[in-house]
Amino acid sequence: MGRGDDHILLGLIDIRKVFSRRTIDEVTALDGINLDVYEQDFVTIIGSNGAGKSTLLNVIAGIYPPERGGKVCVADQDITNMPEYKHAAYAGRVYQNPSEGTAAKLTIEENMAMALLRGQSRGLRAAINKRRRELFRSALSPLGLGLEDRLSAYAATLSGGQRQSLALVMATISKPAILLLDEHIATLDPRTAETVLELTDMIVKRERMTTIMVTHNMDIALRYGNRLIMMHQGKILVNMGEEEKKKLTIADLVAAFERAAGEEFKDDSIMLSQR
């Protein structure tokens, strides 16, 4: 990962998120998150169930605002209270479930046109022309999956791995400032997951994307990216930079998490898969 310069691309200041406030279900999903992500950082986030990982990505993507006092800045612009559709220009997303990132009843090219037009109101068909098709083909062909020759196939006819690869291309095609991946390989079989991960790494490097990738898998969190964050109960417990991460092993990671989270974490660590 080349961090050419030290420009902060994403700044999170004192991000809190409380759900179901003042009910018996009240939960503090994010409990004072401060984080700087530099241009071209590839941050992997690991943490047990309910740690707040998805909530954090949702706040960055503008699905809901943080509690008052929290601030989300992208490229020095405060986007905390921007509506979700405007966040879409900043953040491309790929979710866990292929059906969330791609529309089954649309063809590959219609899906891609939709991604390209995010936030605009022009019709899909009008958006597909010869020049656009060339763009779609050239974006798909590096995947090596032959999708560029199947532009009029329905997304429903693709395999899970193909759909997640398409979702990746869709999330990056309009060159958002940041790519958010929320366990985007979790539903795939191990071999397909590995392929999609390699494609992810390729796209991130080629497009020089600043990226945040959530995973449950410690091995993956170690192998990919230049920074690593561990979350637990709405807090960042471990925030490692490039040099530290390079030397890190899974055993170190478990130990670091246990140290930071204390004894109570011992049971939770089992929930993180190590392979």
| Minimum CB distance to ligand ATP smaller for 37 or for 115 | 37
| Minimum CB distance to ligand ATP smaller for 51 or for 91 | 51
Q: Which stretch binds ligand ATP (CB under 6 A): 46-54, 67-75, 193-201, 239-247?
A: 46-54
- Pairwise CA distance, residues 102 & 236, whole Å: 31
| Minimum CB distance to ligand ATP smaller for 45 or for 116 | 45
CA distances to 1, 40, 143 from 4, in Å: 9, 8, 26
Q: Which of 12, 15, 47, 95 touches ligand ATP (CB under 6 A)?
A: 47
The total number of residues shown for the chain amounts to: 275
CA distances to 218, 219, 224, 227, 231 from 40, in Å: 22, 21, 13, 11, 21
Smallest distance, Å, CB 105 to Mg ion? 26
Q: Which of 54, 80, 107, 226 touches Mg ion (CB under 5 A)?
A: 54
- Pairwise CA distance, residues 56 & 16, whole Å: 9
The site string for ligand ATP over 11-40 (x = CB under 6 A, - otherwise) reads --------xx------x-x-----------
Give the tokens for residue 80: 């905390």
User: Is the distance from CB of 29 to CB of 19 less than 8 angstroms?
Assistant: yes
Residues forming the site for Mg ion (CB under 5 A): 53-54
Residues forming the site for ligand ATP (CB under 6 A): 19-20, 27, 29, 47, 49-55
